[in-house]
């Protein structure tokens, strides 16, 4: 599954166009490499996503094409979440 589609379906990012924009700006890493929006994901991949002042690290647990809102969180596990403004 493409990175931008995973971010939308899992509801980490609400719109696929926004997910594509963030990825293409180099703000998402898979492991230690910078990912583009078209990068294929696998179960077990660890994503590091930079949202301005927040960094979110998630592990991919499941890849499905569509999901209900309540089931979206089962697609990933939050490994860590860091807010750069909090000291």
Q: So where are the chain's domains? A: 3-83
Residues of the chain with pLDDT > 70, as a percent, come to 98
β-bridge partners, 77: 59
**E runs forming strands in the chain:** 28-30, 33-34, 46-51, 54-60, 76-83
CATH class, domain 3-83, is: alpha beta
Q: How does strand 46-51 pair with strand 54-60?
A: antiparallel
CA distance 1 to 43: 10
Block means of pLDDT (10 residues each) for the chain, length 87 residues? 93 93 92 92 94 91 90 90 75
Instruction: Identify the CA nearest to 33 among candidates 3, 76, 10, 53.
Output: 3
- pLDDT at residue 71, rounded to an integer: 86
């Amino acid at each position: 599954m493409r990175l931008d589609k995973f971010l939308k379906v899992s509801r980490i990012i609400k719109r696929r166009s926004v997910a594509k924009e963030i990825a293409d700006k180099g703000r998402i890493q898979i492991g230690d490499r910078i990912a583009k929006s078209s990068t294929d994901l696998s179960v077990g991949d660890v994503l590091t996503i930079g949202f301005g002042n927040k960094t979110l690290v998630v592990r991919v647990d499941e890849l499905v094409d569509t999901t209900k809102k309540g089931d979206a969180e089962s697609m990933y596990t939050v490994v860590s979440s860091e807010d750069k403004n909090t000291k």
